[in-house]
Amino acid sequence: DAKTTQPNSMESNEEEPVHLPCNHSTISGTDYIHWYRQLPSQGPEYVIHGLTSNVNNRMASLAIAEDRKSSTLILHRATLRDAAVYYCTHKTGNQFYFGTGTSLTVIP
């Protein structure tokens, strides 16, 4: 079974950068790494995805390790609206695997 692990929780001060790590040790060479976030009482929301090189979009940046066994989601300036549970995920074979999720608290 694929193993995707994340820290249970992290804190950040408002307007400071946040680095959310994920270890996906059993990912294969062609599996994209995806990140989603989930607010209370809502379904997960797409954040970003990538394969090998670093990726940027309006929400965040994704840094992928050279061996692809880990990745880091970067929120450049955390806001109160970024408080959520963040999940890394990938599809390997015919299965979608989600990490355990990191609950991000943003401190005003």
Partner 1 sequence: KAGVTQTPRYLIKTRGQQVTLSCSPISGHRSVSWYQQTPGQGLQFLFEYFSETQRNKGNFPGRFSGRQFSNSRSEMNVSTLELGDSALYLCASRSGTGVSYEQYFGPGTRLTVT
Residues that bind partner 1 (CB under 8 A): 30-32, 34, 36, 41-46, 49, 51, 87, 89, 91, 94-101
Measure CA 81 to chain center.
16
Report d(CA 46, CA 44) in Å as an integer: 7
Q: How far is the CB of 21 from partner 1 (least distance, A)?
A: 17
Contact predicate 21/70, CB 8 Å: yes
Six-digit token pair at 48?
């970003």
Nearer to partner 1, 53 or 108 (CB): 53
Q: How far is the CB of 76 from partner 1 (least distance, A)?
A: 21
Nearer to partner 1, 29 or 108 (CB): 29
Nearer to partner 1, 59 or 74 (CB): 59
Report d(CA 3, CA 100) in Å as an integer: 10
